[in-house]
Amino acid sequence: MTEQLRLMAVHAHPDDESSKGAATMAKYVSEGVDVLVVTCTGGERGSILNPKLQGDAYIEKNIHEVRKKEMDEAREILGVQQEWLGFVDSGLPEGDPLPPLPEGCFALEDPEAAAGRLVAKIRAFRPQVITTYDENGGYPHPDHIMTHTISMIAFDGAADAERFPEEEFGPVWTPRKLYYNQGFNRPRTVALHEALLARGLESPYGDWLARWEEFERVERTLTTHIPCDDFFEIRDKALIAHATQIDPEGGWFRVPMDIQREVWPTEEYELAKSLVDTSLPESDLFAGIRDNA
């Protein structure tokens, strides 16, 4: 192993990095891997989800700056680098019929042009591995779906000097693997739900599982299970740093840590693209890369 390993995690909003793959990133940081989080938007249209902070006039007026500071704190906790793509949060349209997306938002950007910003980040950082969302965005938020779209373009485009000229986007780079975050998967949810009930404890997952059936979510292929339970506490601290989004007494934290570690000590991914040979299932995002670097 002679080449420095580098992992890039592409996320839609500040807080997504701490709820999706955070323990994985902290694990790799502890092993000396360079990890960069790329955040597509500033989360400007995100609601204040922590009931303790709702109604705070300062936060409501300065939500963009508040969320930047929260991201700074989470980044320090995880030990990662972090950069912004600079797009504007699209918000989550609700209603029937759905209202139009706001003018100038991320989800309405031209995908090729938006991907160019990510191509420049990839070529500058030179990651062997990139993580992002699947074609449904993990859940159908327009910014998550757009994050998937530009990630797929940029994964291929980073190596294509004709599509994205080097004089504008930097010297070409070929990432080796691309993964979809699949941490909110049904097998994990069922396992934790049943473990809590078997111990006579209340489960926060009953409604989740009911909605799973209601929306007929397609089961994803979990190709890669990263053992990272030693970093669950760091994950939780990073998530709590996003105070406007997370209630520290809420459902995210109702499963005792010892049960999490015993029942489901991994985070899951779906291998979407690979330019190296690897055997599935994997326990390392860099499988097939370490020995050939």
Mark whether 134 and 212 lie in a shared domain.
no
What pLDDT shows up at residue 3? 83
**What pLDDT shows up at residue 55?**
87
Q: What is the number of domains present in the chain?
A: 2
pLDDT, residue 56, reads 84
Range of the domain at 193: 186-219
3-state secondary structure of 86: strand
The answer to whether the CB of 14 falls within 8 A of the CB of 68 is yes
Q: Can you tell me the distance from the alpha carbon of 232 to that of 239, in angstroms, rounded to the nearest whole number? A: 11
Contacts of 200-206 with CB under 8 Å at 24 or more apart are: 201/256, 202/254, 203/254, 204/251, 204/254, 204/255
The residue to which tokens 């926060």 are assigned: 204
Domain contains 293: no
| Cα diameter, the chain | 62
Q: What is the pLDDT of residue 214?
A: 67
* Per-residue pLDDT reduced to its tens digit, 200-216: 999 999 988 888 776 65
Q: Which pLDDT score, from 0 to 100, does residue 292 have?
A: 64
Query: Which residues of the chain have a pLDDT value below 50?
Result: 1
Strands 81-87 and 224-227: unpaired
Same domain, 278 and 198: no
Is there a contact between 81 and 75 (Cβ–Cβ < 8 Å)?
yes
207 and 90 in one domain?
A: no
What secondary structure letter does DSSP report for 269?
E
pLDDT at 266: 98
Residue 261 near residue 267, CB atoms below 8 Å? no
pLDDT in tens, 6-25: 999 999 999 999 999 999 99
Q: Give the pLDDT confidence score for residue 120 in this predicted structure.
A: 98
Binding residues for Zn(2+): 13, 16, 144
Is residue 291 domain-resident? no
292 lies in a domain?
A: no
CA-based end-to-end distance of the chain:
6
Whole-number pLDDT of residue 216? 57
Nearest to 260 by CA among 286, 284, 280, 235: 235
Q: Is there a domain that residue 149 lies in?
A: yes
Q: Are residues 14 and 143 in the same domain?
A: yes
Q: Are residues 76 and 149 in the same domain?
A: yes
Binding residues: 13, 16, 144
Same domain, 207 and 83: no
Same domain, 103 and 230: yes
Residue 138 within a domain: yes
In this structure, the answer to whether residues 213 and 160 fall within a common structural domain is no
**How high is the pLDDT of residue 215?**
63
Alpha carbon distances (Å) from 193 to 100, 196, 254, 257: 37, 5, 11, 14
Whether residues 43 and 73 fall in one domain: yes
Tell me, what's the pLDDT at 108? 98
DSSP at 21: S
φ/ψ bin of 42: left (φ > 0), alpha (ψ from -120 to 50), beta (otherwise): alpha
Give the pLDDT score at 1. 47
Distance between CA atoms of residues 86 and 40, nearest Å: 6
Residues 87 and 128 in one domain: yes
Residue 1 in any domain: the answer is no
The answer to whether residues 66 and 210 belong to one domain is no
**CATH number of the domain enclosing 130:** 3.40.50.10320
Instruction: For residues 158 and 239, state if they share a domain.
Output: yes
